Chain A
Amino acid sequence: MSEHKHEHHILSIKTAGIILGLLLLLTAITVGVSRINLGFLNVAVAMTLATTKALLVILFFMHMKYESRFMQAIVFMCFLILAIFIGFTFFDVAYR
């Protein structure tokens, strides 16, 4: 079955190592930036860096980059729903 071979992508140890390096680097930046007072920007920077780290984990460690379009769409929907959930709560909280 040739199609069976196609559905398993093997993440190379080298790629995994590069991703680990990036994650550690982003962690160092997160901690470093938090020591500088930027006011509200601090929260924005911290969340942007955390989201970037999360994306790296999902795409590479969790193989999402190599999954079918169907699976990618489902995962995207899940996080979209979470974003709507948090976003709409803030329409209430922030403008009360």
Chain B
Amino acid sequence: MSNHVHKDYAGAKLGMWLFLFTEVLLFGGMFVLYSAYFHEYPREFHIGGKQLDVVIGTLNTVVLLLSSFSIAAAITYIQQGKKKLALIYTYLTIGAAFIFLVNKTIEWRAKFHHGIWPDSPHLRELSHGENIFFGLYFLMTGLHALHVIIGMVVLSVMVYFLKKDVINQQDFVKLENAGLYWHIVDLIWIFLFPLFYLVL
């Protein structure tokens, strides 16, 4: 009993959720900005949205949903003491994150190729509403992509912890909290996808 380490499971979870609320409000602010401008320029947003690639957008939605499943599965497996499966599913999640970023890069490069980047000369020639649409598109998907990159780093640390048995069947709250972060990344994309790729 002398080397008993105090663990506060509920506290660790609560702390993570409080952090996630700040993330929700950060993106929430930008969603307010989006909806206010959408209200002002519905036609321009529609024209802008038509120029985005629905196939890549849908593919990335599927990739993120699969990754959300795989990290949830990894947590289930470590809770059942199946370390190897937990590791495999964490790797799969990181792989999905990587595929998401590759798609995002292809998509952005195509936009740059067409002279579309925030406040580019080409966009300034177009209507004010379209310029704002693409400004928001790069800001919001860019900040989301940054979260994907951070998520990959966090999940890679979790792989290290799994290998070192820091995360195990008795103590898995680190993996759970990393999973919560990853699900928030998915959650934000669930709203970004229809708002940008499917606007009408």
Contacts and interface: CB of A to CB of B under 8 A. Distances in A.
Given A7-B9, A16-B73, A27-B65, A57 B24 contact: no
B68 A57 contact: yes
Contacts, number: 111
B194 A50 contact: yes
Interface stretch (B29-37, B97-105, B109-117, B146-154): B29-37
Nearest to A75: B17
Given A7-B9, A57-B183, A61-B68, A13 B79 contact: no
Given A31-B54, A85-B28, 7 more contacts: A10-B80, A13-B73, A31-B58, A42-B200, A49-B194, A50-B193, A54-B187
A-B CB proximity, top 5 nearest: A34-B198, A46-B194, A42-B200, A20-B69, A61-B72
16 contacts: A7-B9, A11-B76, A13-B73, A19-B69, A24-B62, A30-B194, A46-B198, A50-B190, A60-B72, A61-B179, A67-B13, A68-B10, A71-B13, A71-B17, A75-B17, A86-B28
